[in-house]
Amino acid sequence: MDTFSRTERALAATRAARDPRLAQAVADRDYNVTEVLAGAPQMMRRYQQATDLHKTVVHAAVDARRLGIQGPLTIDLLRASARGYLTTVQPDDTWFDQALIELTSSTRRDDRATALLISLPTADHRGVLGYTVADYLLQQLARRRRSCQLTSLTWHAFVDHITDHDDRMRVADSAQRRLRYRTAEALYRTLTPGSARAAHTLAGLLVTQEKADEAFQVLRTAADAGDFFAAHRLAELLVGQEDTDEAIRVLRPAADAGDLLAANKLAELLFGQRHADEANRVLQSAASNSHAASSHPRTVCRLAELLAGQGYTDEAIQVLRPAADARHVEAARALAGLLAKQGNADALWARADAGDFSAAGELVRLLARQGNTEALRARADAGDSSAAWLLAGLLVEQGKADEAFQVLRPAADAGDLSAAVGLIELMVRQGKADEAFQVLRPAADTDDQFTIGELTEQRNIDTLRAAADAGDLYAARRLAGLLVGQGKTDEAIRALRSLADAGDLSAVIELTMLLAQQGDAATLRTLEETGEYSAAEARASRLAGQGNIDALRALADAGDSYAAYTLTDLLAMGADTYQLHEEVHAGTYGAVDHLIAFLAQNIGYERAEQLRTQGFDTDGPH
> Do 214 and 221 contact (CB within 8 A), yes or no?
no
pLDDT at 453: 45
Count of residues for the chain?
622
pLDDT at 22: 65
pLDDT at 2: 47
pLDDT at 7: 66
pLDDT at 620: 41
Q: How far apart are the first and last CA of the chain?
A: 42
Residue 306, judged by CB atoms within 10 A of its CB (0-12, 13-18, 19+), counts as buried
Grouping H, G, I as helix, E, B as strand and the rest as coil, residue 120 is strand
pLDDT at 446: 46
Grouping H, G, I as helix, E, B as strand and the rest as coil, residue 129 is strand
Task: For the chain, give every domain's residue range.
Answer: 39-163, 511-614
Query: Which positions of the chain have pLDDT values less than 70?
Result: 1-34, 36-38, 108-113, 290-295, 411-422, 425, 432-477, 485-486, 497-536, 617-622
Q: Using CA atoms in the order 271, 274, 280, 286, what is the torsion angle rounded to 10 degrees?
A: -40
User: If you ran DSSP here, which 8-state letter would residue 619 be given?
Assistant: S
pTM of the model: 0.67
pLDDT at 582: 94
pLDDT at 417: 58
Cross-strand pairs, 121: 128
pLDDT at 611: 93
Cβ neighbour number for residue 434 with a 10 Å cutoff: 9
pLDDT at 448: 46
pLDDT at 62: 97
pLDDT tens sequence across 129-186: 999 999 989 999 999 999 999 999 999 999 999 999 999 999 999 999 999 999 999 9
Report d(CA 395, CA 376) in Å as an integer. 11
pLDDT at 224: 87
